[in-house]
Amino acid sequence: MTDTAALAPDTADAMLATRFARKGDFVSRSIAGETILVPVRNRTGDLDSIYNLSDVASSIWERIDGQAPVREIVDGVCAEFDVGRETAESDALEFIASLQAAGLIETSAVAGSD
């Protein structure tokens, strides 16, 4: 995973301004307080790539819609959970980096955005 604490401030700012969209099809289910995420490939669940998401990770995943920049996702996490801004940013950036590395999300260009 990426060590987000080591990111240069301008790199972290750029990531916080970035919008991401989910890449591919997924099936998700909430079971015993955890979200289970299964990528669907060739109309079949990829059981070798099952992801268990914590409450916070699940909240971030649900907010990744191609419209909201990471900064707004972090705002939502801070509002929903008892967490400080710095911790929320660091955790969100780390989780998003892991989603990128797994090929589950991609950057999104939003028409009319600045």
**Per-residue pLDDT, 2:** 44
Instruction: Give the tokens for residue 74.
Output: 């972090």
**Per-residue pLDDT, 30:** 84
**Per-residue pLDDT, 111:** 53
CATH topology of domain 9-102: Arc Repressor Mutant, subunit A (1.10.10)
pTM, whole model, 2 decimals? 0.80
Query: Structural domain boundaries of the chain?
Result: 9-102
Contact 20, 66 (CB under 8 A): yes
Strand 34-41 relative to strand 20-22: parallel, antiparallel, unpaired? unpaired
Residues of the chain with pLDDT under 50: 1-5, 112-114
